[in-house]
């Protein structure tokens, strides 16, 4: 069963899927958190969604409607 993403993970995911395709540093600056925290959120989301790369994460999020297209 797919584990639910936390509200903060969804925020990170939405910023990662923007037209600007923000880097971890850019996402961290927008959310006022550390770069390592963003990296941790991305790693956790990959595990929850069963993917191994950020690209896979973004494609899966789009496919499942977790982020607007």
What would the pLDDT profile of 11-20 be if each residue is shown by its tens digit?
999 998 887 7
Please tell me the predicted confidence (pLDDT) of residue 7: 92
Q: Domain holding 41: CATH number?
A: 1.10.10.10
Into how many domains does the chain fold?
A: 1
CA neighbor of 30 nearest in space, from 59, 41, 5: 41
Locate all alpha helices (DSSP H) within the chain, ordered by sequence: 7-16, 24-31, 35-49, 54-63
- Asked if the structure places residue 2 within a domain, the reply is no
Q: Which domain holds residue 38?
A: 7-63
- Asked if the structure places residue 18 within a domain, the reply is yes
- Asked if the structure places residue 28 within a domain, the reply is yes
CA distances from 33 to 8, 23, 36, 49, 54 (A): 11, 13, 9, 23, 19
Q: Please say whether the dihedral angle defined by the alpha carbons of residues 42, 48, 49 and 53, taken in this order, is positive or negative.
A: positive
- Asked if the structure places residue 25 within a domain, the reply is yes
- Asked if the structure places residue 1 within a domain, the reply is no
Mean pLDDT calculated for residue range 6-35: 91
């Amino acid at each position: 069963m797919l584990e639910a993403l936390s509200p903060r993970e969804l925020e990170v995911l939405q910023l990662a899927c923007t037209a600007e395709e923000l880097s971890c540093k850019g996402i961290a600056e927008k959310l006022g958190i550390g770069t390592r925290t963003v990296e941790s959120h991305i790693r956790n989301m990959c595990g929850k969604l069963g993917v191994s790369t950020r690209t896979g994460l973004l494609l899966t999020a789009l496919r499942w409607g977790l982020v607007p297209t």
